[in-house]
Structure 1
Amino acid sequence: METITVFFIVEIIGTVAFACSGAMVAIKKNLDLLGIIVLGVTTAVGGGMIRDILIGIHPPALFTNPVYVMAAFVAVLCLFLIIKCRRITIEALSSLWYERVMNILDAVGLGAFTVVGIDTAITAGFGEYNFLMIFLGVITGVGGGVLRDIMAGETPAVLRRHVYACASLAGAVSYMLLQKVLESEWDLILSASLVVVIRVLARHYKWNLPRAL
């Protein structure tokens, strides 16, 4: 029961973080309330939907257990009301503050959903396929952000931002290894935290993979 509780908390944290990051992008793009909700919810549950389709969970969990959609919806509405009531401008959303908030939200969501993706794969009976577990962890982590950026008309962050997918990959490999040697929920917490730390450090020190030009 304890593991299930911790797992659920991690999922909710990731859902809220990604929902807010999607909503922030939509607000910066000056979309209306419906657009903000759609982009926020898609960011929160998109990666999990892709994962479920890949491993044959039909219909995806977002339809059979809508608690995550509702959590994302409430988070987006709260963020919308806060920004609306405080009259935050588009210029403020282009500031260094906005970039820092987005980075933290993305980092937390990425870490949470990376380990959730692997745990879902194990629960579905794919625990003996290491490459599949890592792939599902990464796709769960980055999938929602990719959908968000495509819908917002931007190059997906996974292809350009400071070691974004690499952070998810490191967390996925860490969780795959730690869950074989650690008891309780520490493997999940440590691996998710590793992703967050890598993302925060990557932004602070401007770590990037090499480019051709």
Structure 2
Amino acid sequence: MSAYIIFVLEMIGTVAFSISGAMTGIRKGMDILGISILGLTTAVGGGVMRDLILGITPPKTFQNPVYAMVAIATALLVCTPWVQNLFSKRQNYYDLVMLWMDSVGLGIFTVVGIETAYSVSTDFSLFLMVFVGAVTGVGGGVLRDVMAQDPPYIFVKHFYASASLIGAVVCALLWETLGQSVSIIAGVAVVLVLRLLAAKFRWSLPKPSSAEEE
């Protein structure tokens, strides 16, 4: 898979996560600056964590400002009146967009994390590959939720981090046997399908009885 295709995937993931961050900021009543920062953090936060773990300094976000620029522009677009009017008229649009943007961003950034790790070294262990993929996928969302003073989505919502971990395992295992393109497509597909099925059927991991009562 060419560097151009990887870049396109990164841009799609950046836009998707920026939208979810901006929509969270709007829901929290933040001003335009806060919404922009939340969109930016959600879009690039996981990638910054990934690069620091892999020893890529400065992180790619600071080497190429296009990621930050696209994230901020997307967040500002979400703030426009016509977008806000659309969501104010139909609440189900908000929930549906949040689900899809979070799922698409999660799938793309999970496999991009693994691709970045392979670009640094092919000798990394499977554990590191999966860990880096999952951190890239969920890291921005964790920062978004902490900054918005929400419980991190990965700890309370149905099958979020688990979908990223499973997709990362699939991608990493297929990489050596079926190649980069197939493994990336398979990883994204697994994450996306699991997230959508979990949302539809309300799958969740088991909780202690005391937590369920609360």
Q: What residue identity is the alignment partner of 1:167? A: A
Report the Cα offset of residue 90 of structure 1.
8.1
Matched, 1:10 2:6: no
Matches for 1:16-165 after TM superposition, within 5 Å:
16-81=15-80, 84-85=81-82, 87-88=84-85, 95-125=91-121, 127-165=123-161
Mapped pair 1:209 → 2:176: no
SS at match of 1:71: helix
The amino acid of 1:124's aligned partner reads: V
Contact 1:28–1:90 under 8 Å retained in 2: no
Specify the alignment match of 2:177 in structure 1: 181
Alignment partners' CA distance in 2, 1:126 and 1:180: 10
Query: Which string of whole-angstrom CA distances, capped at 9 and with x for unpartnered residues, describes residues 159-210 of structure 1?
Result: 0111100000011001101111224512211211110110001000000001
Find the residue that maps to 1:210 and give its secondary structure. Answer: coil
The answer to whether the 8 A contact 2:78-2:84 is kept is: no
Q: What RMSD in Å do the two structures reach over aligned CA positions?
A: 1.7
Q: Deviations over 1:75-98 (max 9, x none)?
A: 1122111xx2355388658x3332
Partner SS for 1:185:
helix
Report the AA paired with residue 188 of structure 1: I
In structure 1, C-alpha distance between the alignment counterparts of 2:207 and 2:180, rounded to whole Å: 41
Secondary structure of residue in 2 paired with 1:169: helix
Unaligned runs of 5+ in 1: none
How far apart, CA to CA, are the structure 2 residues paired with 1:72 and 1:50?
Answer: 17
Number of residue equivalences: 209
4+ residue stretches of structure 1 with deviation over 3 A?
89-93
How far residue 42 of structure 1 moved from its aligned partner, in angstroms, is 0.3
* Superposition TM-score, scaled by structure 1 size: 0.92
CA contact (8 A) 1:6 1:185 kept: no
Q: 166, 182, 200: which is aligned to 2:196? A: 200
Q: Matches of 1:183 and 1:202 in 2, distance apart? A: 28
* Structure 2: runs of 5+ lacking an equivalent: 210-214
Which structure dedicates a bigger proportion of its chain to helix? 2
